[in-house]
Amino acid sequence: MKRVAVLGLALAVALTARPISAQQLEIRFLDVGQGDAALVRSGTKTLLIDAGGSAGVVSYLRAFHIDTIDLVIASHNHADHIGGMTGVLQSAVVRFYMDNGVPQTTATYQRTIQAVQASGAQYLNATNRTITLGAARLHILGPPAGVPRTTHDAPRTSSQNNASVGALIEFGEFHALFTGDSELLELDYWLHNEAIRHVHVVKVAHHGSPNGTSAAWIAATHPQVAVISVGAGNSYGHPSAAVIAEWEGAGARVYRTDRDGSVLVLANDDGSFVVTTARADTGGVVQLRPFVQDTTVPAIAQPVTSPACCRICTRGKACGNSCINAAYQCHQPPGCACNAKP
Amino acid sequence: MSDVFYAVDRLEGQMAVLVGDDETTVDLPRRNLPARVREGTVLRVELGADGRPDWGSAKIDDQERERRLKAAQERLDRMAESDPGGDITI
């Protein structure tokens, strides 16, 4: 069984690890079981948001040949978000590290913060600030100032969840929003204090728990794609069927890592994007499931002429699973990208 | 009989997620733990004859919790001193 899983990971990586165009933003919601981890690449720059609950994320880094991460964000210090962080810090050069600045008592956190210090990474406070990462801009949504430092002061809420670091990724006209495990207290704070805008992709807060989604939050973000990072058979009832229904009811296509495996978003700066998932079946064979999502952008709003096309190249030409400049030579084997009809 | 520490990583509904000092993670119903358990609570737990934690023996150790938070906060404060602040390009 374990061999099948390893084979699945290897095949998933082999099928999707090809370099993207420098003009694209890549977001990978990694299948790390119950927990969060997302790898974002913009040109030569790499961002990791959370590290899952175990060292599994390191396998992805190795498979993608990533030995330097420009910025790591720990949305908050729960073990299902930082459990793999020590492994990340030991297996890659991390240039900058940001967390929510709220200490935790677990051994997982204590070792993580020791590893951050030992790594020499530049620590960044989670204040409202803009971080330019290649062609992408990262707008940090800082936690509300009034959140108690521990839940001994506010036992009904999680101080870690409600102090999650939020990150709005802006790549030209494309926008994606990450909010860790924010609960309603923090989401409401941002709704009232930040310019929460419509985005293309949302990472659903708190693994699809009811306390991480509200009607107001859905209306404000109004995404076309909502991704839930969640482990199969977890003990916590994640994700909630009602939460999935709410996002779908608002028109979002919902992906979940327990069923879809890792979810890959390839975005262009005109706001068009493609979502692909990789999932190992029982035979260890990975199936790519092409999906053209954005129907508001002319570049990809044309009818998809072939179900095999995961991407229609209206500018440049098809190369493997992506589009490249028409003047460039394609070095990829045939993939699922197609040239648009003249 | 030796004691071990488990810290409450988080509460998920009626479940408590504990992390031992060996970083093993345990999901337990909250009703099996002291009523005052919250996120961040540190529990001192006796090991049974079989070497497994005897959850009935779990006692809240506020001193250990404070010690851990203080040590971590001091480390964070030292690291944060070098933050250049403001918008940055990476």
Q: Which pLDDT band, with edges at 50, 70 and 90, does A23 fall under?
A: confident
B3 touching A (Cβ < 8 Å)? no
Q: Which residue has the higher pLDDT, B79 or A313?
A: B79
Yes or no, beta carbons of B83 and A122 under 8 Å apart:
yes
- Interface with chain A: mutation pick from B36, B38, B70, highest number of A CBs within 10 Å: B38
Residue A14 pLDDT: 44
B75 touching A (Cβ < 8 Å)? yes
In this complex, the residue of B19, B73, B82 whose CB is nearest that of residue A79 is B19
- Decide if domain A5-308 falls under CATH 3.40.50.2300: no
Average pLDDT over residues A310-335: 68
Yes or no, beta carbons of A53 and B42 under 8 Å apart:
no
Q: Which pLDDT band, with edges at 50, 70 and 90, does A330 fall under?
A: confident
Q: Is the pLDDT of residue A296 over 90?
A: no
Categorise residue A207: left if φ over 0, alpha if ψ from -120 to 50, beta otherwise: left
Residue of B nearest to A47 (CA): B90
Q: What's the residue count for chain A? A: 342
B83 touching A (Cβ < 8 Å)? yes
Q: Is the pLDDT of residue A301 over 80?
A: no
Tell which B residues from 46 to 65 touch A, by Cβ distance under 8 Å: 64-65
Q: Which pLDDT band, with edges at 50, 70 and 90, does A317 fall under?
A: confident
Q: Which residue has the higher pLDDT, A190 or A319?
A: A190
Q: Is the pLDDT of residue A3 over 90?
A: no
pLDDT digits (tens, 9 = 90+) for A120-132: 999 999 999 999 9
Q: What is the reported pTM?
A: 0.82
Yes or no, beta carbons of B68 and A103 under 8 Å apart:
yes
- Cα A282 from Cα A214, distance rounded (Å): 36
Tell me the one-letter amino acid at B68. Answer: R
In this complex, the residue of B40, B75, B79 whose CB is nearest that of residue A151 is B40
Coil vs helix vs strand at B31: helix
Residue B84 burial class via C-beta count within 10 angstroms: exposed 0-12, middle 13-18, buried 19 and up:
exposed
B74 touching A (Cβ < 8 Å)? no
Average pLDDT over residues A150-173: 81
Give A-chain residues touching B23 at CB under 8 angstroms: 83, 107-108, 111
Give B-chain residues touching A70 at CB under 8 angstroms: 90
Q: For residue A273, which of A135, A174, A128 has the smallest C-alpha distance?
A: A174
Yes or no, beta carbons of B25 and A53 under 8 Å apart:
yes
Q: Is the pLDDT of residue A25 over 80?
A: yes
- Cα A145 from Cα A312, distance rounded (Å): 45
Q: Is the N-terminal amide bond of A239 cis, ω within 30° of 0?
A: yes
The alpha-carbon gap from B7 to the nearest alpha carbon of chain A, in Å, equals: 5
Yes or no, beta carbons of A45 and B90 under 8 Å apart:
yes
pLDDT digits (tens, 9 = 90+) for A37-48: 999 999 999 999
With beta carbons less than 8 A apart as the criterion, state whether A25 and A257 touch. no
Residue of B nearest to A137 (CA): B89
Angle between helices A107-119 and B62-80 in degrees, nearest 10: 20
Yes or no, beta carbons of A116 and B79 under 8 Å apart:
yes
Q: Which residue has the higher pLDDT, A294 or B53?
A: B53
Yes or no, beta carbons of B15 and A158 under 8 Å apart:
no
- Cα A108 from Cα A77, distance rounded (Å): 9
Tokens for A173, please give them: 């006209």
Quote the mean pLDDT of chain A. Answer: 83
The residue ranges of every structural domain in chain A are 5-308, 309-342
Give A-chain residues touching B83 at CB under 8 angstroms: 122-125
Q: Which pLDDT band, with edges at 50, 70 and 90, does B1 fall under?
A: low
The alpha-carbon gap from A338 to the nearest alpha carbon of chain B, in Å, equals: 34
Lowest mean pLDDT among A64-78, A246-260, A268-282: A268-282
In this complex, the residue of B9, B27, B75 whose CB is nearest that of residue A78 is B9
pLDDT digits (tens, 9 = 90+) for A224-249: 999 999 999 999 999 999 999 999 99
Residue A22 pLDDT: 64
User: Who's near A179: CB < 8 A, 6+ residues apart?
Assistant: A75, A141, A164, A166, A186, A187, A190, A202, A203, A205, A212
Q: Which residue has the higher pLDDT, B78 or A158?
A: B78
Yes or no, beta carbons of B7 and A105 under 8 Å apart:
yes
